Amino acid sequence: MQEIPIYLFTGFMDSGKTTLVQETLLENGFGDEMSSILIIACEDGDEEYDTEKLSSIGAKVEFIEEEENFTTETLDKLNEKHMPDAVFIEYNGTWEVGKLFDDFKWPVGWALVQTLTTVDSTTFEMYMLNMRAMMQENMFKSDCIIFNRCTDKTNKAKFRATVKAFNRPAQLVYERADGTIDDKEDELPFDITKDEIEISDADYALWFMDCMENAKKYDGKIVSFRALVYNPTEGKGILKPGTFVPGRFAMTCCVEDIQFLGMKAKYPDSGNLMHKSWIDLKARIKNEFAKEYKGKGPVLYPISITPAEKPEDELVYFA
């Protein structure tokens, strides 16, 4: 049996899901080689589907307006009715997304192949502050997150850091109001061209995220920063001898988002470093395989370690 791909579109109402589905099918030629495409719409936003144009490429729209009706039985009936070559689901932004990735039973032959999330950049920070759990629910399994309605003032670095904190593999796309893609790289607040890079507390969170995502460009560089040592001597978190994790606690949007951002460091005398002590660290970065990263990533090789005072503010920030 030929696999029927499911493309899942998540995001809050009026974030651009309907527009993205129609652009994918009508403007990007996605359905040119398909005879039957099923679109399942789970909410009724301001943007309406152009059913006449969609019919011209063999795409039909069906609506499931209540979450309790989004069942295997309902989808089986739609599958029998349309016999689709592909399925596009515009999911309701207030419904539970996690169940679709766990034990949800799709119709025979259906396979979830890609999840895309649309986000209105003008309301993202407000929603993350007031509806964090619901926002993360829409994005935590997404393969591609599209921030639309971006401007020159859009804080792309902060958006990226917020998302990568809970969905590191996601691809992020920034789209302007006119539909063009903003692919300009954010300027980093430190000079990456230098062989030695001094990272201030203010820059640590952005440097950490950039280094984790682009370890190759830091390979061989020397970096220095003030760090909190993670090196427990008891419990499940005990590290392999000769290693420790220097890092900082960072806050993205609110207190609930505080997390430790640390990198693996190889150091023969790691046993002498007290857990939760503060140090000034100078180390060379090597982009190499590490089990903790499940692949290649930045591993620190200390050049010098000196005791340091606890900073006035122990947290670092992405803004």
Q: How high is the pLDDT of residue 119?
A: 96
Task: Say how far apart CA 281 and CA 270 lie, in whole Å.
Answer: 13
Report which of 11, 1, 6, 2 is spatially closest to residue 105, judged by C-alpha positions: 6
Q: Give the type of residue at 286.
A: K
Task: Say how far apart CA 166 and CA 279 lie, in whole Å.
Answer: 27
pLDDT digits (tens, 9 = 90+) for 276-313: 999 999 999 999 999 989 899 999 999 999 999 999 99
Give the ranges where 48-131 is alpha helix by DSSP (H): 51-55, 72-82, 124-130
Task: Say how far apart CA 122 and CA 138 lie, in whole Å.
Answer: 17
Task: Say how far apart CA 85 and CA 46 lie, in whole Å.
Answer: 28
Give the ranges where the chain is alpha helix by DSSP (H): 17-22, 51-55, 72-82, 124-130, 132-139, 156-164, 204-213, 215-218
CATH fold for the domain made of 196-317: OB fold (Dihydrolipoamide Acetyltransferase, E2P) (2.40.50)
Task: Say how far apart CA 89 and CA 11 lie, in whole Å.
Answer: 12
- The Cα angle at residue 174 between residues 112 and 180, in degrees rounded to 5: 105
Q: How high is the pLDDT of residue 31?
A: 63
pTM of the model: 0.72
4-176: CATH superfamily: P-loop containing nucleotide triphosphate hydrolases (3.40.50.300)
Instruction: Give domain limits for the chain.
Output: 4-176, 196-317
- Tell me how crowded residue 300 is: count the other CB atoms within 10 A of its CB: 24
Query: In the Cβ-directed half-sphere of 312, how many Cα atoms lie within 13 Å?
Result: 1
Structure tokens at 184: 């300009």
CA distances from 123 to 15, 126, 319 (A): 9, 5, 16
Q: Do domains 4-176 and 196-317 have the same CATH topology?
A: no
Quick one: the chain helix, strand, coil %, rounded to 5? Answer: 25, 30, 40
Q: Three-class SS of residue 97?
A: coil
pLDDT-flagged residues of the chain (< 70): 1, 31-33, 185-187, 252-256, 319
Give the ranges where 28-131 is alpha helix by DSSP (H): 51-55, 72-82, 124-130
> At which residue do the structure tokens 């990263």 appear?
293
